[in-house]
Structure 1
């Protein structure tokens, strides 16, 4: 299998962590991706990736049968069908809904941060202050919910699911890549839980770069 990736994408990281947790990482070749925007602009660029995935987004997985799969949740669902290790998307209905709901919440936060990055690429005179304020508020609301619910999260030392993986990717991305932003404020329960999660081998091996 081939996975188009960048080492800073939290969406890619979710897939890589899932693969490590399920013992599949050695079966996946990592292919550096040229993603959709020219440096420092919003101008779309063409690449090998855009011929495979029209959105030009990562992660994009090429299976051994040369099928193209995209979206991190769909890819993880595909990986869950390989082997007999506990699935990352739980089989139990209640646990599955809980995990997917948490994953969806985190995805909304990550998408808001992604759009803030897009706004930062615009010339200053074309940025939309009200939109930026709304995105910032959306991220902070999501993080507040995660803090409130963190006492009910599964132990970071046991089996982890897609929701737990997503929260870990978000929190470490904030601490490493957004350390000086308004998002990196103290959240006692969530921080303590996340610090333990960061010690897992799958988290260590996929830790994002500083820049």
Structure 2
């Protein structure tokens, strides 16, 4: 179990986004999950682990500013063996560790591949951030951005790089819409206007379908990665 990574200052220039490891083997597909505080990123990661762990070899890197709370939640839920979950304490704004100085996260994913590999998939969860949060392409191969209906149904209309450019936008906690006055149809229309052809998934982890559609999207990315 790795819970001790901290953010260093190596800078993004030293990062390689190559698809192969030094030994020539294909590395794991890396998918980043970002979004505002409380949007349901960790719950989505947990649900993905439960549905995919019997199909693929996967691991998780979480990011928090001063704690290891998200990693410890995943450990308590036993979504993966402990050695497949590691934490980065950023000590700064979350976007710093996923976009500006990714060295600690890059070290974490490479350590996981060295120590529990071979891996097919690594999920890198950002700490809670704002609508501008995006991952460096030197760290992840695809990005999921998670928002929730309780944050306001105007979030897709407001846009921001996370909403408009992520490879997949997840609108989470749809079961709360009647209770918080959010219009799901309006959110869907605004998301389409902001994202053009990029996909959007509406989900409730309390519902029967849960994370099914996001898992299907991940499977498609994995198939393309290994083809």
User: Would you call these one fold, judging by a TM-score over 0.5?
Assistant: no
TM-score, length basis structure 1: 0.32
Query: Which structure has the highest strand share of the two?
Result: 2
TM-score, length basis structure 2: 0.31
Query: Which structure has the highest helix share of the two?
Result: 1
